[in-house]
Amino acid sequence: MSTATLKRDTACENVFVKIPQSDMDFFQLFSEKMGWSVEKKQNIWDNYILNSPKNIDLTDEEIMEEVRSVRYGKV
C-alpha cells in the first residue's frame, strides 16, 4: 500500500486547539505526518515579544493618551 503525496501549497489557517497535555505527543506526531506545524501559545507570544520594536519614539504621555482613547472611545 503506498501513500499519496498531498499538494500543500494551499492557503493555511491558524487554529487554536485545547487538548490534554497527555495527548500532546500524539498530536505533534499526527501533525508532522499531515505536514502541519504546531506552536504552543507561549512560543507565539515569545516570538512576538522578541520581534517587537525595542526603541519607540513615544513619550509616556503619548502612550497614555492612546490607551485612554481606546479605553474610553475618545478617538
* pLDDT tens digits for range 13-42: 888 889 999 999 999 999 999 989 888 888
In a domain, 4, yes or no: no
The whole-number pLDDT of residue 11 equals 84
> What is the number of domains present in the chain?
1
Domain for residue 54, yes or no?
A: yes
Distance between CA 7 and CA 30 in Å, rounded?
17
User: Is 1 inside any structural domain?
Assistant: no
Average confidence (pLDDT) over 3-18:
71
C-alpha cell at position 25: 505527543
Radius of gyration of the chain (CA): 21
Does 10 fall in a domain?
no
Percent of residues, the chain, with pLDDT higher than 90: 37
Residue 46's pLDDT is what?
87
C-alpha cell at 65: 493618551
In a domain, 8, yes or no: no
Is 55 domain-assigned?
yes
| 8 A C-beta contact, residue 44 and residue 14 | no
Q: Which domain holds residue 56?
A: 21-72
Q: Is residue 32 part of a domain?
A: yes
pLDDT of residue 45: 82
